[in-house]
């Protein structure tokens, strides 16, 4: 199946980046939809800011920037967003009921042959697919933050996902300039988060138990394991509430060894969410 038009549902942290790479790298016509004008305006502002950085670094030309922005069409209307799309990528908050409601509405207005993909980082693809009438044309398409820079896309097969759907999404991802891995079995956390989240959770426990200061934990992992950034800096980027949501899914699906750290819960309740709230383990208001 040939993909010409892409619809991205959600203009937030991940959605705006997915819309950008769809328009910039793959040259698709893209609609980006959100529920409030302020969310769309913020998302489009982040896209412009990202493209300006690429222009300043001479990665792309001013003409490339203009052409990319011309391909992206923001809208508040679900029907308008999805009715002509060949591929719909859902990128709303990591909450099951929100995702299912959005996917059911998109499915209602989408063309019969359109593929729907979820950018979920942990939720069952089979369960999300059940909120649509096209489980064979549904899969996971998990981008990493920020999508403009991170090379990987995890492509996840649900219980009923067809081979053709997987093949199409592999080709689309590669057109976007991404490297792909296919997750053959719909298992919570897929590959990356199943390995990463327990490591991040242990970093929270080290702070909670007073074993070391956050700066020293980050320094130890950067220099000892050659990570590009320490785990506590990373959770500040990812969002501490998002990290908790993934940990809770892993605990529910895979057992108590994935239980979230008390500090992870406490910081989420205190709205110390990392970069997006201005403060997490580090103060981002000064940066």
Strands 87-90 and 179-183: unpaired
Active site residue 145: no
In terms of C-beta density within 10 A (0-12 exposed, 13-18 middle, 19 or more buried), how is residue 175 classed?
A: middle
Element (H, E) at 247: helix 240-254
Active site residue 2: no
**Annotated catalytic residue within 86, 173, 193, 201:** 193
Active site residue 73: no
Token pair for 40: 């769309």
**Annotated catalytic residue within 154, 173, 201, 261:** 154
Report d(CA 205, CA 201) in Å as an integer: 6
Active site residue 16: no
**Annotated catalytic residue within 118, 121, 122, 201:** 121
Half-sphere exposure of 87 (CA within 13 A, CB side): 30
**Annotated catalytic residue within 142, 173, 201, 261:** 142
Report d(CA 66, CA 75) in Å as an integer: 19
The catalytic residues are 121, 142, 154, 193
């Amino acid at each position: 199946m040939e993909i010409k038009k892409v619809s991205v549902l959600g203009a937030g942290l991940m959605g705006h980046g997915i819309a950008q790479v769809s328009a910039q790298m793959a040259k698709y016509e893209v609609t980006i939809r959100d529920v409030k004008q302020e969310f769309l305006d913020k998302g489009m502002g982040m896209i412009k800011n990202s493209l300006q950085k690429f222009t300043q670094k001479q990665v792309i030309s001013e003409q490339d920037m203009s052409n990319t922005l011309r391909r992206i069409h923001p809208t508040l209307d679900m029907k308008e967003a999805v009715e002509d799309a060949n591929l719909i990528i859902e990128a709303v908050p990591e909450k099951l009921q929100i995702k299912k409601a959005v996917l059911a509405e998109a499915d209602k207005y989408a063309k019969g042959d359109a593929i729907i993909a979820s950018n979920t980082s942990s939720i069952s693809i089979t369960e999300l697919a059940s909120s649509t009438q096209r489980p064979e044309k549904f899969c996971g398409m998990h981008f990493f933050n920020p999508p403009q820079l991170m090379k990987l896309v995890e492509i996840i097969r649900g219980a009923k996902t067809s081979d053709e759907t997987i093949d199409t999404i592999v080709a689309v991802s590669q057109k976007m300039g991404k490297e792909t891995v296919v997750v053959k079995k719909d298992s919570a956390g897929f590959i990356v988060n199943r390995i990463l989240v327990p490591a991040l959770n242990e970093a929270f426990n080290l702070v909670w138990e007073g074993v070391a200061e956050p700066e020293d934990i980050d320094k130890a992992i950067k220099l000892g394991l050659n990570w590009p950034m320490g785990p506590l800096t990373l959770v500040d980027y990812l969002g501490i509430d998002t990290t908790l949501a993934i940990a809770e899914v892993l605990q529910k699906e895979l057992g108590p060894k994935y239980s979230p750290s008390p500090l992870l819960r406490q910081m989420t309740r205190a709205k110390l969410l990392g970069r997006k709230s201005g403060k997490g383990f580090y103060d981002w208001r000064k940066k």
